Structure 1
Amino acid sequence: MFSVGDAHLAGVTRHQLRRPDLTSPTPGLRMWVDAEPTWREMALALSRLGDGQYLSHVTAAQLWGIWLPIWMQDGEQIHVTGRKGFSGSMRRPGVVGHRAKLDPADVVEVEGLRLTTPARTWLDLAPQLKDPLDLIAAGDALLQRADGPPRAEGVLGRNPLSTFTEIDAVMERRRSVKGIQVARQARPHLREGVDSAPESRMRGVVVNAGLPEPVVNPVIMLAPGVRRQPDLALMEWKLALQYDGGGHAEQAQVNRDIWRDDDFDRHDWRTVKAGRDLYTAYGEQAFLDRLRRAMRAQEHRGFGPHH
């Protein structure tokens, strides 16, 4: 797939662009009749249609690997923002066109793709993400640790994608846009070093319940030579909080999880787990009930802030 503009720059004539084995999936683009472009190829081509057009919103988030709720991961429509005062919003089938002020610091070109930066993308998502915990998770995705789990295959950038300074700067530049209030409410709850969206949600569920905020991915020396790093921890209660979404099917991983939990047990720690039902009201309440029971049990054993 290629743009008409790029074809003209390469010396292709208008007559050649009308040959029968070429088709136009959308104005300004050409591709071979039998071609089946991927979503990413279409996004790349659309981002090259004009100097003032940039992939944005959900499309940019998917390209950056920003954590999104399942209902936003359709990958079908492509969001493109036209720079206000320079370009209009793109209107064509399969494209959601936007028009907004784009500061030079808010856009970037990576691997041929013109798109909004991770920080600007997060702010653009603010009015679309109805659940505040989803917005916090998307923000946490920008601040992952460099030595954490590998990023999803094919996404752009390296961890961390952004910094608090860059997030604050884009919010300052966009002080009156739609979604700025919910972004301001979410900003104090973003944390560095979170490894996954479920871990982010687990932390948010605990805080929203009025319980102390757990520490993210702490390195805990249980004994000389015994080092563990739970997803979250309530250090004073000696409670390790782990998310187990059922992805640990391999026997080797199952064994490692058993050994990890046994290490905690042998050193006066308790493990409280959350599963996929954390995304339901029932599962959330069940997890909180388990956590509160574990906190009370640890307090009886002499652990907690008042001991």
Structure 2
Amino acid sequence: MIEPPTSPFLWSHFDDLAIAPFTLRRWLQDGRVRRVLRGVYVSALLPDSLELRARCAALVLPTYAVLCDRSAAWIWGIDVHDPDERFTIADLEVAVAPGQVRLRRTGINGVERDLAKTEITQVHGVRLTTPARTAVDLACLRGRRSALAALDAFMRHCGVSEQDLRQQLLRFRRRRGVTQARELVGLATPLSESPGESWTRSAIIEADLPVPEPQVEVFENGVLVARLDLAHRHCKVAVEFDGEEFHGEEQREHDERRRGWLREQGWHVIVVRKHCLKGAALEAWLEELATVVAERSTPRRRRYARSAVRWQKA
């Protein structure tokens, strides 16, 4: 039986490998091969890694090009797709220096980008923008929620600091989106553990509600019992995002037991899922959050909390 190659390969390699095209279709159907990029495939036995992603990108990139934006984030292990875009295979976003010919081919989106030498690095033979440059580019170019999620993720997974981001912003004067980037840099945190948590926090910020604290730990008799995605400690209100990939049936049962215990301890828990990030569902849980925080706030904060309720009525 013919086995998939042990390194990334292109559809065009099949003639050299003496493999019939229908064999690839069978491998994909059987789950023995997965498509990583448009036209680029790997054996399912190869674990995902920074090196593997770079080797896949190297198969379709010219040596002078630089991966940027979402593609550079992907190499760094950061998922910055919007909720409805997740688990899709996007075109590679590739930058060339001003005056060079933009790459125009299937599966590649070419842009001109003024990049300093210090903003370009190399990973396993592939040139790409540094974590700080990639994060700020995305903070300018993406919608607010995805932009904040990108900043959070680069701070958490790549060790990018707020100072690094502000230093990078010095080169972005007058660039489209820089005002948004400056604002979001001050709101980003490495404590956010998933894009969903960042999207949820961003929705709360956009609604002009009090900003909750991420990763709040709850103890009983000195033992850690729960860690909340987002919470207002002073009034025991929690907001948690349930992502589809991390909340299957077993995890859902565990979450319900944990949240039941929290409610017995006086916590009000609001659960947000992907479909709750837009439309009527978004308005419903934001109104619930505003109302509960207002009702549970101390007298000193009550006037501010009531203003949050008025947001929904305005």
TM-score bracket, normalised by the shorter chain, equals: 0.7 to 0.9
1:217 aligned residue: 215
Residue 160 to residue 78, structure 1, CA distance change in 2 (3 Å):
closer
Aligned residue for 2:59, secondary structure, equals helix
Q: Provide structure 1 residue ranges, at least 5 long, that are not aligned to the other structure.
A: 1-23, 145-158
Question: C-alpha distance in 2, partners of 1:296/1:76?
Answer: 42
Aligned length: 259
Q: Residues 37 and 270 (structure 1 numbering): CA distance in 2 closer, same or farther, change over 3 Å?
A: closer
Correspondence for 1:288: 286
1:97 is matched with 110
Specify the code of the residue in structure 2 equivalent to 1:200. Answer: S
Match of 1:258 in 2: 256
Specify the alignment match of 1:197 in structure 2: 195
Q: Are residues 1:37 and 2:40 paired?
A: yes
Q: Hey, what does 2:125 align to over in structure 1? A: 112
Contact conserved, 2:217 with 2:224, CA < 8 A, in 1?
no
More divergent stretch after superposition (281-290 vs 239-248) = 239-248
Aligned residue for 1:182?
A: 180
TM-score (norm 2): 0.71
CA distance 1:89–1:161, shift in 2 (3 Å) = farther
Say what the alpha-carbon RMSD is for the aligned residues: 3.0
Quote the offset at 1:287 in angstroms. 0.8
Deviation string, structure 1 residues 117-150 (Cα, Å, up to 9, x no partner): 2221223234542x31221112111122xxxxxx
Deviations 1:70-99 (A, max 9, x none): 4555434222212347x5433444322222
Provide the secondary structure at the position in 2 that maps to 1:170. Answer: helix
Distance across 1 between alignment mates of 2:58 and 2:300: 54
Paired letter, 1:292: A
Question: Which residue in the other structure is 1:149 paired with?
Answer: none
Cα 1:57–1:105, aligned 2, differ >3 Å: closer, same or farther?
Answer: same
2:160 aligned partner, one-letter code = S
Whether the aligned pair in 2 keeps the contact of 1:140 and 1:191 (CA below 8 Å) is: yes
Q: Secondary structure at the match of 2:231?
A: strand
Q: Per-residue CA shift, 1:280-301, capped at 9, x if unaligned? A: 12111111132234335535xx
Residue type of the partner of 1:38? Y
Matched with 1:137 is 149
Question: How far apart are the structure 2 equivalents of 1:265 and 1:223?
Answer: 17
Deviation at 1:45, TM superposition (A): 2.9
Looking at structure 1, the residues matched to 151 and 247 of structure 2 have their Cα atoms a distance apart, in angstroms, of: 26
Alignment partner, residue 162 of structure 1 = 160
**CA contact 1:125–1:135 (8 Å) conserved in 2:** yes
* TM-score, normalisation: structure 1: 0.72
Aligned residues: percent identity?
A: 23
- Judged with a 3 Å threshold, the aligned counterparts in structure 2 of structure 1 residues 207 and 71 are, in CA distance, closer, same or farther, namely closer
Deviations 1:213-247 (A, max 9, x none): 10011223344324421000111111121112454
How much has 1:61 moved relative to structure 2?
A: 2.3
Does structure 2 conserve the Cα–Cα contact (< 8 Å) formed by 1:237 and 1:305? no
Structure 2 unmatched ranges of 5 or more: 1-9, 18-38, 43-52, 303-314
Please state how far the C-alpha of 1:267 moved relative to its aligned partner. 2.5
Q: Equivalents in 2 of 1:277, 1:71: separation in Å?
A: 9
